[in-house]
Chain A
């Protein structure tokens, strides 16, 4: 836990930022994005580093959550007490259904199947003309909390995202340390050994997948509210790839790597995009180099020093 000074420092920085002057619309949106993607990345790190499930379809869970907000909004339902559980529930259900099939496979199969299901969600969202189709959907306003426009208060939303991020990290850490987590971690390294003590890995993995999906749904809910706009791009496999990048950038071995990875990614993406419209020409090779040379990710670098 001593090694976790870096992510703890980041969380503290997020907590302090609005109070020391970073409270404008631009900064808070950027920070919200970093925190929300950080949540999703921590959940993915839980799957990848904890359970050994490399999912290339995680963005789909965010998308399902975001679209739940959009679809309910289109029908006039904006109360958080309904929208939030709907977003989380829909995403968890999606993860459960696709996971039930995907987790029967492993390795390369699993990666490809999660990618395929992510694409399925993407195409489905693109074809929903009533909710914007390819062009996306603009919310009438942010989700209301008990009838109030609480979430439209920048500070309130900022600290809500921070709370969600912290809660996600704490919960995933707790899960990994529990009996449930022990079976997951063992199965990641040696599924045969787990079976040989009398436990079948499948139900544990499926539950982990559904939990990660639920967190994705929560992140999607927050994302929809942050930008007040939802489009199929949220579900694209490029987004899933970016989430995996955050995990590996942070270091797949540690949950909090997702927090660091998301922050660096958002900063990098924002800065690069300001330099050139063709920033992916730079970002692509950076990704390749990071994979080739940054083994253990940033978390590995931090841990070695700390």
Chain B
């Protein structure tokens, strides 16, 4: 049932976007849970591949949903998933940004901000765990993860160089 799949995509990604405290990377584990574990739209490897492509391509990393949508239901799926992920929160942000400015000096605002921050970082932390599990099936792959993490943490290199090196390592058969 194609319509049903499109509705599922729309509803699931809209809900996810509203829960995405910390941006698109915060809901990668939930996307993985939905797409791989609950609905079997794809396997581990395909999910890891798509995340890799969304990171390597220009544009915001939220575009991972376009790849998932296309995989599930072709062009319509890609369009629905992208709109559902990028539409509702853009509208919501209009209201929230006004409210937020209005209560600039309210003590509760500081408490909310301080309370949400560790959660949003924790969500991205969960993404790191899920993605490492999904993509590291060999010691070499694991070594690439560690080397990339260390280099990206301690240097200010453009991440694309690291992705390029990793792609080359893969192509030449090291992974």
A binds B: no
B: which residues have CB within 8 A of A? none
